[in-house]
Amino acid sequence: MKNRIDPELRESLELFPALNLDNLEETRKLLAESQEALDIPLDETISLTEKMVPGAEGEPDVRVRIHEPKERNGVLPGLLWIHGGGYVLGTAKESDLLCQQFVKEAGCVVVSVDYRLAPEHPYPAPLEDCYAALKWFSENAAELGVDPERIGAAGQSAGGGLTAGLALLARDRQGPKLSFQMPLYPMIDDRNNSPSSKETGSEHLIWNQELNEKGWRAYLDGMQGTENVPEYAAPSRAEDLSGLPYTYTCIGQLDPFRDETLTYVTQLAQAGVDVEFHMYPGAYHGFEGLAPQADVSQRALSDYVRAAKWAMHREVATVRK
């Protein structure tokens, strides 16, 4: 499969160490050290604050990072951002640079969720943290200078899976109404048996079938692949996608999640949901973050930031339709 990788993406992949999910403590430590070494500068036009917001009933508070422009004209739309990491890795801080880009280019306020991770906190803890953050965002929109009718949710990989699960949960609980959802190359099918998943096997492609099995096992506490998995945990299992908001998603052609994403997009369209979808040839999982200077990465990033801007700033009458 490696001969199919976009040449501009190959070097970054070779330099990226294989993830070890059998020793999560060490892997989390190494990723945190790598993040600290990057020392991402804060854009001087953007304000960043960290806050603890109420969690679900009986659950701990949830940490969020709020990115907003220091100067603004009027009320802005809002974006709830959910980081990736296979449900077992990652922090909200790792998405700071991307969140800044959304603020600057999409003209919005971003609330990034530091949800609890599996296996210490399996489903539904991470999803409930995201729902609690969305609820707080919506209820405090006026204080944040945000239009509560223009709040969307987005995330990458496991964050994309949580985004899709959150959209279903908010719909069924009749909670805060999302104006759009953007589950990017989402991790949504615990069965892990699609042709694209099998193609990756144990190959070093950032994420593969072997890692995917371990991530799902941690998130679902060993229930993956059984009939006991709820659709909010694995949105590929949802039988009714009607009533969901406008959806944008994308995938690399060499991503193990390719086929589950294609199926999800088809089912959304058949359910009457407006959906936009992009697939990038020669691209593996998370390519635009690992090799941001590659042409295909810049196109992908530009595509989804543009889509977020369009979704948040379109006519309210269209959002409410």
Predicted confidence (pLDDT) per residue in 9-29, tens digit: 999 999 999 999 999 999 999
What's the mean pLDDT in 185-209?
97
Q: State the chain's mean pLDDT as an integer.
A: 95
Whether residue 6 contacts residue 282, with contact meaning beta carbons closer than 8 Å, is answered with: yes
Q: Which residue, among 207, 212, 170, 172, has the nearest Cα to 191 in the 3D structure?
A: 212
Rounded to whole angstroms, the maximal C-alpha distance in the chain is: 52
Q: How far apart are CA 217 and CA 104, in angstroms?
A: 38
pLDDT at 62 over 80: yes
Burial of 254-267, coded b for 16+ CB within 10 Å and e otherwise, reads: bbbbbbbbbebbeb
pLDDT higher than 90, residue 197: yes
Q: Output the pLDDT for position 1.
A: 82
Supply angle C-alpha 83, 84, 86, rounded to 5: 150
Distance between CA 36 and CA 222 in Å, rounded? 33
The catalytic residue positions are 157, 255, 285
**Alpha carbons 193 and 199: distance in angstroms, whole number:** 10
In Å, how far from its chain's centre is CA 224? 20
**Which pTM was predicted?**
0.97
Query: From CA 293, how far away is CA 196, in angstroms rounded?
Result: 26
pLDDT grade, residue 316 (50/70/90)? low
pLDDT tier for residue 40 given thresholds of 50, 70 and 90 = confident
Contact 101/211 with Cβ under 8 angstroms? no
Residue 274 token pair: 């407006």
**pLDDT for res 95:** 96
Which helix (H) or strand (E) segment holds residue 67: the answer is strand 62-69
Rounded CA separation 93/159 (Å):
14
pLDDT over 80 at 319, yes or no: no
Give yes or no for residue 225 having a pLDDT over 90: yes
